[in-house]
Structure 1
Amino acid sequence: MSAPFPSRVAINETLVQNLVREQFPQWSSLPVRAVAEGGNDHRVFRMGEALIVRVPAGVDYIPQVRKEQEWLPKLAPQVPQPIPSVVGCGRPSELLPAPWSIYKWIEGRRPDPARLSGDVHAAIDLAVFLASLRRADATDGPAPGLHSAYRGAPVTQWDDQVRSRFPLLDARERDRAAALWRIATSTSDDEAPVWLHGDVAINNLLVDHQGSLSAIIDFGCSAVGDPSCDTVIYWTQFRGPAQRAFRSTLELDDATWARGAGWALWKSLIMLTNTAPGQSAFARRVLNEVLELDQ
């Protein structure tokens, strides 16, 4: 790398405009503005009306850029919903010692959490997408690792983190969590590795003006491995008939669902100590779901 990596704050509209002017002069006259919900791993900027610029927020996320640039064009024809489309691959330079990307803007908005929780059609559409992604050609695809935040790797990797947080729970919660974790970590994925999204969360879904699922975005945590982590939205967002529709359409075996419950438990325990507004309460709701505390 030819220059220090800039701080997250320094990755701003001015830097992006300079990068575009340097490497894509055909778009240099377009206005650039930051997208508020750009995510943690990357900063996102809208450029004009038809494009977005996605810049890694740190050196740890550089492999995600290269992965998306290589694999998104190959995955797009194999899935039923739109995914990000790369139209420009930025190269490292003195301005930014890392690759970066320009994508087509995808129309849509984040789903309303209250509506999504009971939306059977959205649950089915998402499950169909994930099942199609599992069937996509995984030849030479990236194995789980730091680039995927270890999504797709065995859930047992989080054993110490999960067990160290059991004291945060009361006796009933702790017993159920320990039993769930034993089951989750005693199963293994004996199938061939498959494509997984890695971060199936409400912030990475887009819906159209009618509320129908219109796109799945942010494949930074994607990998070829165990798809159990892609089930977590079953506990975090869906409820009732939508949950049942998602599970039946996804067509995974009980062992995969058991490992998925382990991922959901890990996620909720990590978030219990998150001081961001609403995160602890959200974690409690997920715990209630995954541990079936209301039953």
Structure 2
Amino acid sequence: MMHDDQVNIDIDIARQLIRDQFPQYRHEDLTTVTSSGTVNAIFRVGSKITARFPLRAMNPTECADMLRSEAAAIVEIGEHCLFPTPQPIGLGEPGPHYPMPWVLQTWIEGEVATRHGLIGSSAFALDLAHLVASLRQADTRGRRFDGQGRGGHLSDHDDWMSVCFENSEGLLDVARLRNLWTRFRELPSAGSVVMSHRDLIPANLLVQGGRLVGVLDGGSFGPADPSLDLVAAWHLLDRERRATFRRVLQVEDLWWKRGVAWAFQQAMGLVWYYHRTNPAMSALGRSTISRILDDPDI
């Protein structure tokens, strides 16, 4: 169990919900998708569909509203993304053994990226740069950052970072990392928002043959700090490939520094929170922090 408020969902419960609510898929094979993801339990339905069940307890009405909002964002990102993205098929209702709504989406073929798998691939670095560029070109339609999660003011995360530092004692060099955040939080605003995936971590990117072939979890697609999607470079690339990524996107110094700050903020939460329950996510946090600390420009 990764979360204190985690809801139980297994393949038998998922199978019954699918059979009852989407009988057209009742004869499809159902398999559990092993993932380091932390938000949903995922099951593959046949060869072309996935069922996704939120893991953290929510009010059912609020959960349904969230899933509808995510579905709209997923459709929008699919209209602009250079790479395939899953698309919504249907919204499931709560059942006797699972208390919240859930969703069916299309399946995208590929292997989930890893923090070291394509670290030295220039082709992959170019793919990531082209991905970020394509998302930035989408029209914000006058929308502003919604205030949820990363993508606004760095200093808004001071309380959370204090929690992270306290819980990271014995796991990381907290004194050094506190000093780094003191510098990051004072970086000035990067200007107008752009459209952003908002969570470009390895688990949300699919690769095949050394190239990017799919983008997952686009439900948060929306306006945010132009630097936010730059976290992908720190989660996935070595120093030389980060330079390639930056050059292609023509990232100015302030944007680059803010991208480092967002990657650092995310990584600090991963190490301690998932230390015992999701080692892959905890290790991602460690590797990202190490890349930041080892970069002489930082």
Q: If the length of structure 2 is used for normalisation, what is the TM-score?
A: 0.81
1:130 partner SS? helix
Q: Work out the CA distance in 2 between the residues paired with 1:151 and 1:293.
A: 23
Q: Provide the aligned length of Structure 1 versus Structure 2.
A: 281
Give, in angstroms, the shift of residue 248 of structure 1.
1.6
Q: Tell me, what secondary structure is at the counterpart of 2:244?
A: helix
**Aligned position for 1:202:** 202
Partner amino acid, structure 2, of 1:48: G
Q: Contact (CA 8 Å) 1:92, 1:98: kept in 2 or not?
A: yes
Instruction: Name the counterpart of 1:187.
Output: 188
Question: Partner of 2:248 in structure 1?
Answer: 249
Which residue pairs with 1:215 in the alignment?
Answer: 214
Q: Where in structure 2 are the equivalents of 1:66-77 lying within 5 Å? A: 66-77=68-79
Deviates most, 280-289 or 110-119: 280-289
Residue identity matched to 2:243: R
- For residues 250 and 197 of structure 1, what CA distance do their matches in structure 2 show? 16
> Is contact 2:81–2:131 with CA below 8 Å preserved after alignment?
yes
Worse-matched range after superposition: 97-106 or 55-64: 55-64
Hey, what does 1:3 align to over in structure 2?
none
Instruction: Show the counterpart of 1:130.
Output: 132
Distance 2:281 2:56 in 1: 24
**In the aligned structure 1, how far is the partner of 2:11 from the partner of 2:174?**
47
Q: How far apart in 1 are the matches of 2:296 and 2:213?
A: 33
Task: Give the letter for the 1:261 counterpart.
Answer: V
Q: What amino acid does structure 2 have at the position aligned with 1:236?
A: H
Native 8 Å contact 2:122 2:244 kept in 1: yes
Please say if 1:116 is aligned against 2:118: yes
Cα-Cα RMSD: 3.0
5 Å matches for 1:205-284?
205-208=205-208, 210-274=209-273, 275-276=275-276, 277=279, 283-284=285-286
Q: After the TM superposition, which segments of 4 or more aligned residues of structure 1 sit over 6 Å from their partners?
A: 278-281
Indicate conservation of the 8 Å contact 2:151/2:225, yes or no.
Answer: yes
2:163 is aligned with 1:144: no
Change (3 A) 1:197 1:286: same
Match of 2:91 in 1: 89
- Segments of structure 1 that go 5 or more residues without pairing to the other structure are 1-5
Q: Secondary structure of 1:131's match?
A: helix
User: 1:178 corresponds to which residue?
Assistant: 179
- Structure 1 length-normalised TM: 0.81
Percent of counterpart pairs with the same letter? 28
